[in-house]
Chain A
Amino acid sequence: MTSRIPAGMRYYIGSEARLRRTVEDVAMSVFESWNYEEVITPSVDYYDLFEQGMGQREATRGFRFTDNDGRLLALRPDVTSSVARMAATLLAERPRPLRFCYAAPVFRQQTQSHAEWRRENTQLGCELIGVAGKPADLEVLRLAAEILSRLNLQTSYCITINNVEIFNGVAAQLNLEPPAREQLRLLIDTRQGAELRQFLQNHTSSEARAFLRPTELTGKRDVIRAAREVIRNSRSVAAMDSLEELWTAIESLGLEDSFEIDLGDVSSLDYYTGLSLKIFVRGAGSSVGRGGRYDGLTGNFGRAEPAVGFVLNLDALTEVLGRTGFANQ
């Protein structure tokens, strides 16, 4: 026997475990009140599934091993891939929309950053499948906001929203080879204004100038207004229209103080197809949740249809709430 625990794994004992369960219960009861059905997906699945569902770069971070017949298996690094396959195959005949939620651990052998210490994280997530457009996008944003308020975080959370098609339209105009496009994406994602200016010197069409000033990429409606001055291509304009419409809806719900538009959020472009969102909470050094629209995903499993969803990281939330004292309420 060894007394050692593998890197990135941990115990929850007593009050911490109780707090963690409370947080999970709050999230699941909110999902349920919005008519999201709970789904439990296999913990182990074919590696192919995750490669199709998450893209190769993300899927390779998972724990992998082989089945009896030599096929590659993985300990699930996400739940969405499996739900998308289920919707396209098992539930192909069921009337739309489908609403699913889950609380399930996911596993990543390679962590993405030094601050992301855990290799097992429980995702509290939901998927809304079969509806396109603003009402569905707004529904999942409201769900996320409601869960965070129910956790007494209403004054300390911030949800950033973006539409990845704004960047995609600009990048398409520049007509870049994939490595150059990736470099452009990285420079915007990490807000390297000076390097971006240098990068754009070689390009005549430069709607990408809109991304030059790092502090002006995030904010409220003004951010879109400023971007419109520079970005004119129809693909990006359509995306800005729908982002602004979504913003108007957020304002009419009185939630604008908790939301920000972040045109620089271009971190998962190969995955999301429209709305992308990230969830931050005071006291956590990195995002505690993310999501967006992934209309391309279910097509990988034979039935293309619109879908949107998000996940919250239960372990990260428990850590913050453990420090700020939700347990005592």
Chain B
Amino acid sequence: MITIAIAKGRMQESALVLLARAGIRLSDEAINSRRLALMDETGQYRFIFTKPADVPVYVEHGIADCGVVGRDVLLESQADLLLPLDLGIARCRIVVAAADAQALSKVPGMIRVATKYAQIANAHFGARGIPVEIIQLSGSVELAPALGLADLIVDLVETGRTLRENGLTVVEEIAESTGRLVVNRASYQLKAGEVGRLVQALESTLNGNQ
């Protein structure tokens, strides 16, 4: 048996659809229950559902053998994991946004950046030698520029609607993010057969779609 950690929320639904297409199904009864750990119909896979940021934690410790989580979370967590598959689900972009599209070219001595993604923001501006003050928020980041808490935000964008409605425009794109299959390094060796079957089942499902 292998354990798969799935990020709750946006990722969960499309991950379960993809897994079902690869032949790994949860019963409706199980999905509708409020249990956080579930077995699939064959009893070969156990699913656990956690907050996105906790998926790399469970997998890195080997409590879960595999996980499905967005690349944004992985970039932020810096977890030491194997990343064999891009599942292409829950596609979105990590962007820099501001009220003023020219915000970055004005080169002030210090830019204030509000974000949930402190690591990603630091690495992005750090690589170009732009000094930034990171203001760590845990949600509704789009508010910060309007209220004067920050000059810019670094955040996840799917359609851009929330940005527009809060008077922000995308200044630059940092990275694209999609759901990834992640695997614990020890499980990859010790459960090579089972992990390999999961990777191959998902891979052929993905290829069948191209």
Contacts and interface: CB of A to CB of B under 8 A. Distances in A.
Interface of A: 112-115, 156, 158, 160, 190-195, 214-215, 218-219, 260, 262, 278, 280-282, 284-287
B166 to A, nearest CB: 33
A286 B85 contact: no
Contacts of B184: 285-286
Interface of B: 56-57, 60-63, 77, 79-86, 183-186, 188-190, 192, 195-196, 199-200
Interface centre among A160, A282, A285 (most CB of B within 10 A): A285
B196 A215 contact: yes
Given A190-B83, A219-B192, A285-B184, A214 B199 contact: yes
B196 A284 contact: no
A264 to B, nearest CB: 8
A16 to B, nearest CB: 20
Nearest to B183: A191
B32 to A, nearest CB: 31
18 contacts: A114-B56, A114-B57, A114-B79, A114-B80, A115-B61, A190-B83, A195-B86, A215-B195, A215-B199, A219-B192, A260-B189, A280-B189, A280-B190, A285-B61, A285-B62, A285-B63, A286-B60, A286-B80
B190 to A, nearest CB: 5
A284 B83 contact: no
A218 B79 contact: no
Contact of A214 (B63, B79, B84): B84
Nearest to A116: B80
A282 B186 CA distance: 8
A311 B80 CA distance: 20
A256 to B, nearest CB: 14
Given A158-B190, A191-B84, 10 more contacts: A114-B56, A114-B79, A115-B80, A156-B190, A214-B85, A215-B195, A280-B189, A281-B190, A285-B60, A285-B186
B152 to A, nearest CB: 27
B123 to A, nearest CB: 15
A194 B57 CA distance: 24
Nearest to B186: A280
A284 B56 CA distance: 16
A278 B186 CA distance: 10
B186 A287 contact: yes
B192 A286 contact: no
A113 B190 contact: no
Contacts of A287: 185-186
Contact of A192 (B61, B63, B83, B199): B83
A281 B187 CA distance: 10
A113 B60 CA distance: 8
Nearest to B58: A285
Contacts of A194: 85-86
Contacts of A114: 56-57, 60-61, 77, 79-80
Contact of A193 (B56, B60, B85, B183): B85
Contacts of B82: 190-191, 214
Nearest to B195: A215
A66 to B, nearest CB: 28
A200 to B, nearest CB: 16
Contacts of A262: 189
Contact of B188 (A112, A113, A218): A218
Contacts of A286: 60, 62, 80, 184-186
A145 B82 CA distance: 26
B85 to A, nearest CB: 7
A218 B183 CA distance: 14
A193 B199 CA distance: 11
A199 to B, nearest CB: 13
A8 to B, nearest CB: 15
Nearest to B56: A114
Nearest to B57: A114
A284 B186 CA distance: 7
Contact of A215 (B77, B81, B84): B84
Closest 6 CB pairs of A and B: A285-B62, A113-B80, A214-B84, A215-B196, A115-B60, A191-B84
A286 B63 CA distance: 11
Given A285-B62, A286-B62, A286-B185, A112 B190 contact: no
B199 to A, nearest CB: 5
Contacts of B86: 194-195
A281 B60 CA distance: 15
Contacts of A160: 189
